[in-house]
Amino acid sequence: MLHSSTYRLPPSNDHPYVVTAKRYTIGDAGGSGHNASEGITLILGHCIGMFKESWEPVLEDLFEIEAGQSSTPIFEAWSFDCPHHGQDGNINEPVLLADPTQTFPGDAYGRAIGRFLTADERQGAQVDFSKHNLVALGHSVGASSLIWLHHSPEFPVRFQSFILIEPMLNAVHARDISACWPAYIAFAYQRRDTWESSEAAFQDMLKTMPYMSWDRRAIASFVTYGLREHPAASFSIEPFSGVALACSRMAEAAVYRGTYQFAHDMVSVLACISKDVPIHFIWGAVEDSLTQGLRDALMYKCGIVMASHRWIPDAGHLVGLVSDALDICF
């Protein structure tokens, strides 16, 4: 059975965001390893618009698979909310509102994770992660953020390998995807963001794309963690008691604004990292976000040394939510 516990790291003078993380194990004392040095510790980054708990269906299956194998055990997994997402959406929203550009810097998610992993042992999780065998498992912007973190001289965090699911990277050898960015931002502003109740949201998602294509566990998780009490619920006159997206439409668009150049920059960084660290790509076979040309360019024309790559049939960019989570566990 998957066990979890939540930890928070307060803002600092140079980082205005609260950082929230969740630790997952298959037991109270960690995974099947007796201590951190005997197993691996997964560090998880999610995609734009999601939240740290969106990994739970994958982790449930992954721990189940791992329990029946004699390979290196998973000691534990740590998943992090991108600031303005999930539980952190409410807490960090004032920081975004104070920025007249309404832009979330591309490196801010990686910096948040780095702050947590290198925090004084009296703060956050009170864990010395330097004694852990860290493996990066990132999806979309979560993948590019972990690439940034590994390469950053600001934090002494180094991963033993990377598993990158549909990473947000833009190869110059492919058709420039700058034309896609306005469409991504427009989608963020136009997506439905309000329902009259959590139950109404769940029923709506069961019959509405893209939610209806997800693993049912992922839909339930989104209703629990991807929604929050509607801001109008606190109004003294005619309050509205419904629910809204935890990552607001404005916050989602802000991430897209801040990550375009970042997606370019991280390609050469990954090429450098791949000379010494195993890189595993996982792609959805359906071209609903990243084009085949872009994927091919990343794998074969950018100097990135791959340890492996895998295609998941009948899944697109949200492969970890759409397909059976067993498909991406390897």
CA distance linking residue 123 with residue 19, whole number of Å: 11
Residue 29 vs residue 104, higher pLDDT: 104
pLDDT tens for 187-209 read 999 999 999 999 999 999 999 99
Hey, is 179 helix, strand or coil?
helix
Both structure tokens of 230: 């509607």
| pLDDT for residue 320 | 79
Q: Are 324 and 214 a contacting pair, CB within 8 Å?
A: no
| pLDDT for residue 101 | 78
| pLDDT for residue 217 | 92
Average pLDDT, integer, range 78-87: 94
CA distance linking residue 143 with residue 82, whole number of Å: 12
pLDDT tens for 273-324 read 999 999 999 999 888 888 888 889 899 999 999 999 999 988 888 887 875 5
Hey, is 32 helix, strand or coil?
coil
Q: What is the rounded average pLDDT for all residues in the chain?
A: 89
Which candidate, 285, 273, 204, places its Cα nearest to that of 245? 204
* Sequence spans of domains, the chain: 3-176+261-328
| pLDDT for residue 178 | 62
Strand order in the sheet with 19-25: 3-9, 19-25, 74-80, 40-45, 133-139, 161-165, 279-284, 308-312
CA distance linking residue 4 with residue 18, whole number of Å: 19
Residue 261 main-chain phi, psi, to 5 deg: -65, -35
Domain 3-176+261-328 has CATH 3.40.50.1820: yes
| pLDDT for residue 327 | 56
